[in-house]
Amino acid sequence: MMNLINLIGAHVLLKIDENYKLERHDLLIQNNTIVAFDYHNQSIPQINMEKCTFFPAFFNLHCHLGESIFKNISGKNWTLDKYLNYTNKINQNMSVVRRQAEWEKSSLDTILALKKEGTVGFCAARSAEICQKYSFNNMSGYPIMNSEKLIEYKEKGIEGFTNYYKKNQNELCNVGVFFHSLYKNDLDSLKLAYKCLENNAKFLSVHISEDAYTRNQELKAYKKEPVYILDDFGLLNNNTILVHCGYTSKKELELIKRRNSVIAICPISNLFLNTQLADLNYIEELGINWCIATDGLATGRTFSMIKQALALKMKYPFLSYEKLFEKMTEAPAKSYNKCSFTGRIELGTQANFLVTKNIFKDESHFFYNLFKGNLNFMLFHY
């Protein structure tokens, strides 16, 4: 009975027959895993949770570790190109040692901010090491891009990826490819990304048509719509995460549906950079898999998944609170693809759920208060 604890009488948000239900249960926890519901044994240590509600923690399918150093930018006239020029100028004025130190500090700030906002897992480039240190669920992308800052990863080729994979792939971390952007890459990059997928890369994450300028750059570079380019190179499948897609055509969206790929939408970042949000009316009509994400702290402004969801609902009022909640728990968990985190509170999953010292009349009452910002919650971890 080592490392056992029984949480007694909690109100637990469950998914039953594809509907959310609040039910009273005891949860038996062993080594941070839910091993039984309603198991009664007086010899096991107990904690009375009758005045608490448990609900699944969040998973952020797209963020950047290094942007926290730019979090104080302000103003309303930002564009993606202006932002990239601004950050590049700052990075170029730093020594390599200073740049690495700032990135490490920013990474730690990101981890702590995500945790504070109820997030227990995320997808970002070069995130394996810090996530292992802080026991985060993680999708760590090996960066492939033609930038001065990160070109060394591409230059190391498939050997660089396989070494990174062997070092970091584990029970909490899935290693994949962070392709960044099509227009920032070339045919050699596409071929390398495919080799990585052939050599066990668990996912590929890529920015697609984030704004009108990058859309034009994609078309100029490849003479073809970007989603079709990915498909031509065998890079469009159920392990592909397409970030933004604000200027993606309906034909491309239909191809995304056929390939069962995922779209990660970063609402506040798109609004801050004065770009279009993805066409959720058509995405929902097609039944494409999609998730809510934050982007980096500079353009995303906050790591609160709740605030990101509310920004999206302002644009698409038809989205229910239940749908929004699913898109930051269960939906990204499918891309993470590890049984320890499913976006649900269920047997065999981690006991990394959120706890609030409130009880609710029903599920609707819970979701209303959650999205109205009326709840204080914390991460349970045993």
What does the pLDDT look like over 165-187, one tens digit per residue? 999 999 999 999 999 889 989 99
Q: Is 180 helix (H, G, I), strand (E, B) or coil?
A: strand
CATH class of 4-56+343-379: mainly beta
CA distances from 99 to 60, 62, 299, 301, 350 (A): 25, 22, 20, 22, 35
Global pTM value: 0.95
Q: How far apart are CA 291 and CA 183, in angstroms?
A: 23
Q: How far apart are CA 357 and CA 376, in angstroms?
A: 8
Q: Is 51 helix (H, G, I), strand (E, B) or coil?
A: coil
Q: Is 322 helix (H, G, I), strand (E, B) or coil?
A: helix
Residue 1 has pLDDT above 70, yes or no: no
- Ranges of H-type helices in 77-225: 80-92, 96-116, 128-133, 151-155, 157-168, 187-198, 212-222
CA 116, 117, 120, 121 torsion: positive or negative? negative
What does the pLDDT look like over 21-32, one tens digit per residue? 999 999 999 999
What does the pLDDT look like over 76-116, one tens digit per residue? 899 988 988 888 888 888 888 888 888 888 889 999 999 99
Range list for CATH 3.20.20.140 in the chain? 58-336
The whole-number average pLDDT for the span 320-339 is: 97
Q: How far is CA 64 from the centre of its chain?
A: 10
Q: How far apart are CA 176 and CA 272, in angstroms?
A: 28
What pLDDT does 69 receive?
Answer: 80
What pLDDT does 97 receive?
Answer: 86
What pLDDT does 68 receive?
Answer: 80
Residue 122 has pLDDT above 60, yes or no: yes
Range list for CATH 2.30.40.10 in the chain? 4-56+343-379
What pLDDT does 2 receive?
Answer: 66
Lowest-pLDDT choice from 74-88, 181-195, 264-278, 305-319:
74-88
Q: Which CATH architecture has domain 58-336?
A: Alpha-Beta Barrel (3.20)
